[in-house]
């Protein structure tokens, strides 16, 4: 677990020094992916899931902190994290209450598309592309929360509430699904026994969490945005 944290933190420093945003999610994923593959090879699926959860938490803290401190920029002044338009869209939603976050007709198809692409990537690449995709999503969320905190009258509270409960549920769901599906290809490449049926309970729980994510977001998002606006003093 310590190596997962250290490797992830180092990846942000290396990414900033290199200054190539497209490489950041791959750097983020490199060490944790190797640790996950190693655990799966030893038959330690729960440990692999734990490593990925620690990785996700580390990215959340790092990306949020960097954005809050104004460090989520390259040395040339560009955005270090990809898809910075998400940050602007979310902050506009907090300020006005208008945006995809509180529009089920918009965010449900988007969530289903993300889940489909992530699932396919985990199966087809042993997690090698699914994890960088997850890193992109984590970094854009962290940049939104950190940027909001930087402009907030109560930064710490904005950070705690900015990581919406449905987003946390979604992350855990993706982790469970991603780890279990990654084992399918990895077991063939690395030549170790693996049965997806044996670990299907994690797939069911993960799918249930993704469904819960949608339900919570549909119910809570409008009022949650108003709470965030009040906390920020906007």
The predicted pLDDT at position 1 comes to 80
Q: In the predicted model, what is the mean pLDDT of residues 106-124? A: 96
The arithmetic mean of pLDDT across residues 115-143, rounded, is 96
Within 8 A by CB and 6+ apart from 208, the residues are 173
With 0-12 CB in 10 A as exposed, 13-18 as middle and 19+ as buried, what is 78?
exposed
Residue 82 has pLDDT above 80, yes or no: no
This prediction has a pTM of: 0.94
Confidence band, pLDDT 50/70/90 cuts, at residue 61: very high
Q: Is the pLDDT of residue 81 over 90?
A: no
Q: What integer is the mean pLDDT of 124-139?
A: 96
Taking Cα atoms as reference points, which of 62, 199, 54, 59 lies closest to residue 122?
199
The average pLDDT across 132-161 equals 96
Q: Which of 22-26, 45-49, 75-79, 113-117 has the lowest mean pLDDT?
A: 75-79
| Model confidence pLDDT, tens digit, residues 162-219 | 999 999 999 999 999 999 999 999 999 999 999 999 999 999 999 999 999 999 999 9
Average pLDDT across the chain, whole number:
95
Instruction: Quote the domain boundaries for residue 156.
Output: 2-232
pLDDT band of 91, cuts 50, 70, 90: very high
> Chain-centre distance of CA 72, in angstroms?
16
Residue 19 reports pLDDT greater than 90? no
| Structural domain count of the chain | 1
């Amino acid at each position: 677990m310590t190596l997962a944290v250290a490797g992830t933190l180092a990846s942000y420093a290396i990414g900033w020094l290199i200054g190539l945003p497209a490489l950041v999610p791959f750097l983020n994923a490199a060490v944790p992916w190797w640790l996950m593959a190693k655990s799966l090879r030893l038959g330690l699926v729960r440990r692999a899931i734990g490593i990925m959860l620690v990785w996700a938490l580390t990215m959340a803290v790092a990306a949020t902190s960097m954005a809050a401190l104004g460090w989520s920029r390259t040395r040339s002044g560009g955005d270090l994290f990809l898809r910075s338009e998400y940050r602007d869209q979310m902050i506009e939603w907090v300020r006005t209450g208008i945006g995809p976050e509180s529009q089920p007709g918009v965010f449900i198809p988007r969530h289903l598309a993300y889940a489909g692409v992530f699932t396919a990537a985990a199966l087809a690449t042993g997690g090698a592309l699914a994890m960088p995709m997850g890193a992109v999503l984590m970094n854009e969320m962290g940049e939104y929360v950190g940027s909001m905190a930087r402009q907030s009258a109560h930064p710490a509270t904005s950070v705690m509430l900015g990581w919406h409960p449905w987003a946390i549920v979604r992350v855990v769901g993706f982790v469970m699904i991603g780890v279990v599906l990654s084992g399918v290809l990895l077991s063939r490449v690395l030549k170790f026994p693996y049965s997806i049926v044996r670990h299907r309970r994690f797939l069911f729980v993960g799918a249930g969490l993704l469904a819960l994510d949608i339900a919570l977001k549909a119910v809570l998002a409008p009022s949650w945005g108003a709470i965030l606006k009040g906390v920020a003093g906007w």
